[in-house]
Amino acid sequence: MSDFSGVCFGISFDQRSGNIGIHFPGYIDSIDKPLYPGYDEKEFKKLNSIQKLNWMYSNCDFIPFKPSYEFIRENCGYSFKYSHIKRDNNMMKRLKGYLKKCEN
């Protein structure tokens, strides 16, 4: 999914760092409580990441995933995976000369 609009639970992951983020409702109105049986936002916040993932696995019919794609910027101080650099046409044009030398 490109965003979590309209869903309450989801998992995002950062391609560069490998970190995950867990999207969950911080507050549920009493009207919506029947939609989330067994969900207590205060208790859920106290759980560690693995416990949250296990809760979602046991209680959700659908868990969306959202990758956080990298946008490569020059001189940003980060190291990027080559698989990500290959998707950036401008970066590949700049590397063309260097890669040509490496082939020889």
Q: What is the pLDDT of residue 73?
A: 63
pLDDT in tens, 2-58: 667 777 889 988 876 778 889 898 888 888 888 888 888 899 999 999 999 999 999
Q: What is the pLDDT of residue 7?
A: 77
Q: Give the residue among 11, 64, 7, 13 at the shortest CA–CA distance from 36.
A: 7
User: Looking at residue 43, what DSSP letter applies?
Assistant: H
CB 24 within 8 A of CB 84: no
Q: What is the pLDDT of residue 71?
A: 60
| Stated pTM of the model | 0.60
Q: Give the residue among 89, 81, 76 at the shortest CA–CA distance from 16.
A: 81
Q: What is the pLDDT of residue 70?
A: 59
pLDDT in tens, 46-99: 999 999 999 999 988 888 888 876 565 666 666 667 777 777 788 788 788 877
- Rounded to an integer, what distance in angstroms lies between the CA atom of residue 104 and that of residue 95? 15
